[in-house]
Amino acid sequence: MNIHIETPRLIIRELLPEDATEMFEMDSDPEVHKYLGNKPLTDIEEVHKVIAFVRQQYTDNGIGRWAVTLKDTGEFIGWTGFKRFTETVNNHINHLDFGYRHARKFWGQGYAYEAAKASLDYGIDTLNFKDIYAMTDVDNLGSRRLLEKLGFEYKKTFAYDGPSAEFNGLPVTWYELMERK
């Protein structure tokens, strides 16, 4: 997958094996994982597996999460973008899930919105994505506000029932962004 999206401060590109160290720093932070089942990573090998999984999604599904880097330094600050769920979640199968995650030291600077907006626009305008869904922990008010700012509409709260067993039964919110008319 050859993706390159630029914003005033960021570059969004495919996730690479070279991102592992900075991604591990992000995903080993308990605050980053507060709303992700409270299970921060403890071994960088876990990150290597995640990156390999995402890169395989590029091949299998033509889409996967993308790295977000600072334009001026190239520093990895997180990821954004799409994932195709081929398993059933909330009675939906083979749907596009939109998400994002950033290292804590980059919170509160507008990067999450900037990256999410650019990747969402790219998905809709360039990749012709129509109906897009997103989920977040029911208590993650910052993420919920960001989804709403991006135009997603809250639909319901449900007990997670998807392929990630560590989240099964946790209360999550379901958001939808239907085709722009």
Find, among 153, 151, 166, the residue nearest to 121 by Cα. 151
The DSSP bridge pattern shows strands 95-102 and 132-137 to be parallel
**Which residues, 6 or more positions from 61, have their beta carbon under 8 angstroms from its beta carbon?**
83, 84, 86
Residue 43 is predicted with a pLDDT of 96
d(CA 131, CA 105): 32
**Backbone torsions φ then ψ of 22, nearest 5 degrees:** -70, -35
| pTM, 2 dp | 0.93
What element of type H or E holds 97? strand 95-102
The one-digit pLDDT tens for each residue of the chain (181 residues) are 689 999 999 999 999 999 999 999 999 999 999 988 878 999 999 999 999 999 999 999 999 999 999 999 999 999 999 999 888 888 888 899 999 999 999 999 999 999 999 999 999 999 999 999 999 999 999 999 999 999 999 999 998 887 776 677 788 999 999 875 5
Architecture of domain 4-177: 3-Layer(aba) Sandwich (3.40)
Residue 88 is predicted with a pLDDT of 85
What element of type H or E holds 142? helix 141-149
**Which residues, 6 or more positions from 77, have their beta carbon under 8 angstroms from its beta carbon?**
10, 22, 68, 69, 70, 102, 103, 106, 111
Rounded to 5°, the CA angle 29-33-35 comes to 155
